[in-house]
Amino acid sequence: MINSLSHLPHPSADNPTLASHFTDLAPPLTARQAMVESARCLYCYDAPCVNACPSEIDIPSFIRNIHQDNVQGAAVKILSANILGGSCARVCPTEVLCQQACVRNNQQECAPVLIGLLQRYALDHAEFNGHPFQRAPSTGKRVAVVGAGPAGLSCAHRLAWHGHDVVIFEAQAKAGGLNEYGIAKYKLVDDFAQHELDFLLEIGGIEIRHGQKLGDNLSLGELQQQFDAVFLGLGLAASRQLGLPDEQAPGLLAATDYIRELRQADDLSALPLADHCIVLGAGNTAIDMAVQMARLGAHDVNLVYRRGVEDMGATAHEQHIAKENQVRLLTWAQPEQVLLDEQGQVRGMRFARTHLVEGRLQTTGETFELAADAIFKAIGQGFDGSALSDAQATQLARDGERIRVDEQLRTSLPGVYAGGDCTHAGQDLTVQAVQHGKLAAEAIHADLMLTVEAA
């Protein structure tokens, strides 16, 4: 249970009722729907949807396979480019990536091909007798992967495919990273992240060691000594702070902490519920938090952002989900003071109204207050600097707080690679992290094979 919210009541509905509020956000396509939708694809040469896909899936080819009733072939096409294609089909913002680039997404056609749902259809209906990819003969090389999130898992799978032995070091009790702990429950249902993990591990050659945290009971220097290469898929584990007094008061916490608790809960009715709550932020995590609180039964959910709607990190699709769930979006408001009751618990927040002056955000001098039983921070994740605290790790070049990498995801230290949110290479998306892991694995494989040839 989250101690900061232990004073709050529980939802009035029972667990089965609440569970019904967290079923699939987007119902899967039926076979008939998939056939009709796949027929809409024009199978473009130099398809813009492929260029828009961070993991470079051959979209026209897999859709053609579906249309030809070759679901197995479609699934292999997807997984060869993105081994976590099932989760990406569910959480990827396709509306601003592949589907936005679809040539049918124009005024005359009105709607793009539903690429994400077709990708899900192929992977949900493919039936493999064993893993679809055969592991290469062992190279005798061992690679350490730190972090069992999308980047680390993708890297590990591709390395194992090439015949390397991989050990993944993971701090949490479960592997999966963001897919297991940080995505809205209605986006990845039925323990999907763990099922996808089990499938990934079927390739063999991958060991996961839990309770292993870099900067705590694990050091980069030791890993370099024990392994032929190291990949860092550390993610962004620290929540950014508001910098306000009373930020540690009961009733104020990071949205990611609550989402983690919700995703791991066996009984949703045992969760603390803020009947009136405030979510600070404008990204997908803020939307996820606000919507889930509404679905648990909160009567008043306000999502507050210091800039305008056009600057929100959440896509228009995500904003629409929030509005459908009666979440109120308040913009041009900046947190100014945490309001506490006589017991020292959160009772609301005072906001300063903001506007732009010559392109810079400034307060107008006006303020307003919102009542709240709890306030959830979703103002961005930061890098946990303690992970790179040992003597060797401190030598890694950084861009700000994140690890600097080149185009092959190599860091400034020989034999050390990094990818995903802990770097500045690309967008902080699950599909981007998967691509980083894949590209880093190819670079590691190429570099290790060079040393074999040289010997």
Looking at the domain that runs over 31-125, which CATH code has it been given?
Answer: 1.10.1060.10
φ, ψ of residue 325 to 5 degrees: the values are: -100, 20
**At residue 109, does pLDDT exceed 80?**
no
**At residue 162, does pLDDT exceed 60?**
yes
In whole angstroms, what is the distance from residue 420 CA to residue 432 CA?
7
Longest dimension (CA), the chain: 72
CATH superfamily, with its number, for domain 142-237+383-454: FAD/NAD(P)-binding domain (3.50.50.60)
- Residue 287: how many other CB atoms lie within 10 Å: 29
Q: What is the pTM of this model?
A: 0.94
Q: What pLDDT is stored for residue 25 in this prediction?
A: 87
31-125 and 142-237+383-454 in the same fold: no
User: SS in 3 state form for 418-433?
Assistant: ECHHHECCCCCCHHHH
Torsion of the alpha carbons at 237, 438, 411 and 198, rounded to the nearest 10: 40
pLDDT in tens, 128-150: 988 999 999 999 999 999 999 99
In whole angstroms, what is the distance from residue 16 CA to residue 9 CA?
18
Q: Which residue type is seen at 111?
A: A
Residue-averaged pLDDT of the chain: 94
Short-list 148, 143, 177, CA closest to 160: 143
pLDDT in tens, 366-411: 999 999 999 999 998 888 888 888 889 999 999 888 999 999 999 9
Residues 6+ apart with CB under 8 A from 296: 11, 18, 21, 268, 271, 273
In whole angstroms, what is the distance from residue 50 CA to residue 98 CA?
7
Short-list 171, 172, 182, 376, CA closest to 263: 182
The model's confidence at residue 230, banded by pLDDT at 50, 70 and 90, is: very high
Q: Give the chain's radius of gyration (CA, Å).
A: 23
Residue 118: enclosing H or E segment and its boundaries?
Answer: helix 115-125
pLDDT in tens, 282-334: 999 999 999 999 999 999 999 999 999 999 999 999 999 999 999 999 999 99
Looking at the domain that runs over 239-380, which CATH code has it been given?
Answer: 3.50.50.60
Q: What pLDDT is stored for residue 382 in this prediction?
A: 83
pLDDT in tens, 201-210: 999 999 999 9
**What length is written for the chain?**
455
**At residue 1, does pLDDT exceed 70?**
no
Residues 6+ apart with CB under 8 A from 409: 417, 418, 419, 423, 425, 436, 439, 440, 443
**What residues does each domain of the chain span?**
31-125, 142-237+383-454, 239-380
Least confident of 102-111, 180-189, 374-383, 397-406: 102-111
What 8-state DSSP symbol labels residue 28? P
